[in-house]
């Protein structure tokens, strides 16, 4: 399978593609062997770190889908598992589907079968209600600029767990889907279909497609779960964080390490721009704010979505800073940081440039916008990730961009 053989228009239309031999047959045996070493390493850690109430294997025995962050477990002998994520059939396909000048690996997981039967999970979209922005805002960006983030399941063994509803990535739920989800979110949805993967095959899909893990049972499952985001596109991607820290780079071959160093640079540059935008808001510089927004999101359309996403980031910084100031040990600080944002180094680079007081001022700027994103009363919504949320899930707020900019800059002067 070559990147030029894929059909970005079909991907755009149905929200997913099933691709054969993403892992070439002659590489499959070695990939299985290397990944199994990483699973065993993680199992030992879970057993060591188990809680007092947990069985001897800890999370391996209790979770419906034990998930290994495999990049954190590699050494030189198993580094091919990470190099694979940079290949033509994974990275280059992703970049092409996103129509992105550059791209970066966002997450590297291995999803495993549980030790006992846990049955089906729930249908959902991989976004929360209103997070990182209301669904229709994300979809408008995706339609105009292609998906700016893609996710993969790549099977090391035949795998029929994942189902998708074709086309659901680009629309809200139908009334029929709403009824079905409210009634029972653990059975096939109308129009849903399984992604039938043979060993080595992959399914790549666009968030926020409706999808379902149809069964978590003990039949052997080893499924490589990857994410990729765009860089250099005209829009601020709706998945802009990352789920790894660069602790594994020392084990990579020089060429692969150089690729990850480039990803780090790209993220660092983006964080600097976000930092500039936030600093301008705190300092009251509308010129600095506009300049930063032009760099983060050059396109004119979709800017409201970018502002909503920035409000979420500002909220996280404001929520984290007081915790950080009360946390003395570096280990505790790291854990707290990871609970707030996934790539801890990335988050630290951003939060370090603001004091607790500045984070409060920043949030004051965004709060009027945040208020407009909420609906009265927290609601339990079927089909979304995360807990009950006070945020409107689908519709963007009834706000013009100029009005919003005025709201953010009300107490600032250029």
- Looking only at Cα atoms, what is the longest distance across the chain? 63
| Closest residue to Fe ion: CB criterion | 126
Closest to Fe ion by CB, 69 vs 271, is: 69
Would you say 126 or 158 has its CB closer to Fe ion? Answer: 126
Report in angstroms how near the CB of residue 11 gets to Fe ion at its nearest. Answer: 18
Q: What are 43's two structure tokens?
A: 């199992």
Smallest separation, CB 229 to Fe ion (Å): 16
CA gap 306, 279 in Å, rounded: 17
List of residues 6+ apart from 248 with CB closer than 8 A: 71, 72, 74, 82
- Tell me whether residue 6 or residue 162 sits nearer to Fe ion (CB atom): 162
| Identity of the residue, 78 or 173, whose beta carbon is nearer to Fe ion in the bound complex | 173
Shortest distance (Å) from residue 142 CB to Fe ion: 17
CB atoms within 10 A of CB 295: 16
For Fe ion, the closer CB: 169 or 321? 169
- Within 225-355, residue ranges assigned H as helices are 254-283, 286-296, 303-326, 330-340, 344-351
Tally the C-alpha atoms within 13 A of residue 342's C-alpha that lie toward its C-beta: 10
Residue closest to 203 by CA, chosen among 150, 157, 128: 150
Cβ proximity to Fe ion, 153 vs 233, nearer residue: 153
Burial track 351-386 (b if 16+ CB lie within 10 A, e otherwise): beebeeebbebbbebbbebbebbeeeeeeebbbbee
Reference 394, options 135, 98, 88, 73; nearest CA is: 135
Q: Please, what is the minimum distance in Å from the beta carbon of residue 78 to Fe ion?
A: 26
Q: How far is the CB of 79 from Fe ion (least distance, A)?
A: 27
Minimum Å distance from CB 211 to Fe ion?
6
| Subset of 111-170 contacting Fe ion (CB under 5 A) | 126
Scanning residues 5 to 44, which ones bind Fe ion (CB under 5 A)?
none
19's tokens:
């691709």
Q: State the minimum distance, in angstroms, from the CB of residue 153 to Fe ion.
A: 10
Q: Based on CB atoms, which residue is closest to Fe ion, 57 or 382?
A: 382
Q: How many residues bind Fe ion (CB under 5 A)?
A: 1
The C-alpha atoms of residue 166 and residue 13 are separated, in whole angstroms, by: 8
Tokens read off for 316: 């996280």
Q: Which is nearer to Fe ion, 126 or 291 (CB)?
A: 126
Q: What is the DSSP letter of 172?
A: P
Q: Select 227 or 397, whichever has its Cβ closest to Fe ion.
A: 227
Q: Name the minimum Å distance from CB 70 to Fe ion.
A: 18
Q: Which residue, 128 or 397, is less far from Fe ion as judged by CB?
A: 128
CB 179 to Fe ion: min, Å: 21
DSSP sequence for 185-204: TTSPPTT-EE--B-TT-EEE
With contact defined as beta carbons under 8 Å apart, do 16 and 166 qualify? yes
Minimum CB–partner distance for residue 125 and Fe ion (Å)? 8
Site string (168-207) toward Fe ion, x via CB under 5 A? ----------------------------------------
Q: Which residues contact 202 (CB under 8 A, 6 or more apart)?
A: 18, 19, 22, 23, 89, 90, 152, 153, 154, 155, 224
Cα–Cα distance measured from residue 284 to residue 244, given in angstroms and rounded to the nearest whole number? 34
Positions touching Fe ion (CB under 5 A) are: 126
């Amino acid at each position: 399978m070559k990147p030029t053989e894929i059909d970005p228009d079909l991907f755009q239309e149905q929200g997913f593609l099933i691709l054969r031999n993403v892992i070439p047959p002659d590489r499959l045996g070695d990939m299985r062997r290397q990944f199994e070493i990483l699973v065993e390493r993680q199992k030992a850690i879970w057993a060591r770190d188990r809680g007092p109430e947990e069985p001897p294997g800890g999370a391996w025995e209790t979770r419906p889908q034990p998930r290994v962050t495999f990049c954190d477990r590699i050494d030189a002998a198993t580094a091919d598992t990470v190099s694979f994520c940079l290949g033509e059939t994974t990275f280059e396909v992703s970049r092409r589907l996103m129509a992105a000048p550059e791209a970066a690996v966002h997450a590297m997981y291995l999803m495993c079968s549980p030790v006992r039967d846990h049955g089906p999970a729930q249908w959902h979209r991989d976004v929360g209600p209103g997070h990182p922005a209301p669904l229709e805002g994300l979809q408008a960006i995706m339609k105009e600029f292609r998906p700016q983030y893609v996710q993969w399941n790549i099977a090391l063994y035949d795998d029929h767990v994942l189902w998708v509803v074709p086309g659901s990535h680009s629309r809200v739920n139908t009334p029929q889907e709403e009824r079905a989800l409210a009634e029972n979110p653990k059975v096939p949805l109308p129009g849903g279909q399984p992604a039938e993967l043979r060993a080595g095959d992959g399914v790549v899909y666009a968030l926020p497609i409706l999808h379902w893990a149809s069964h978590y049972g003990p039949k052997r499952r080893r499924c490589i779960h990857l994410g990729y985001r765009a860089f250099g596109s005209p829009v601020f991607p709706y998945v802009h964080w990352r789920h790894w820290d660069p602790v594994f780079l020392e084990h990579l071959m020089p060429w692969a390490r150089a690729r990850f160093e480039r990803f780090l640079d790209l993220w660092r540059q983006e964080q600097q721009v976000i930092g500039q935008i936030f600093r301008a808001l705190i300092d009251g510089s509308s010129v600095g704010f506009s300049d930063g927004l032009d760099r983060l999101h050059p396109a004119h359309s979709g800017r409201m979505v970018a502002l909503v996403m920035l409000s979420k980031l500002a909220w996280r910084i404001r929520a984290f800073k007081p915790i950080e100031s009360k946390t003395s040990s570096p280990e505790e600080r790291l854990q707290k940081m990871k609970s707030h944002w996934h790539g801890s180094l990335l988050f630290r680079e951003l939060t370090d440039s603001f004091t607790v007081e500045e984070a409060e001022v920043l949030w004051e700027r965004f709060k009027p916008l945040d208020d407009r994103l909420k609906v009265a009363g927290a609601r339990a919504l079927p089909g979304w990730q995360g807990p009950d949320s006070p945020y409107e899930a689908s519709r963007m707020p009834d706000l013009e961009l100029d009005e919003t900019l005025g709201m953010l800059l009300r107490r600032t002067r250029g």
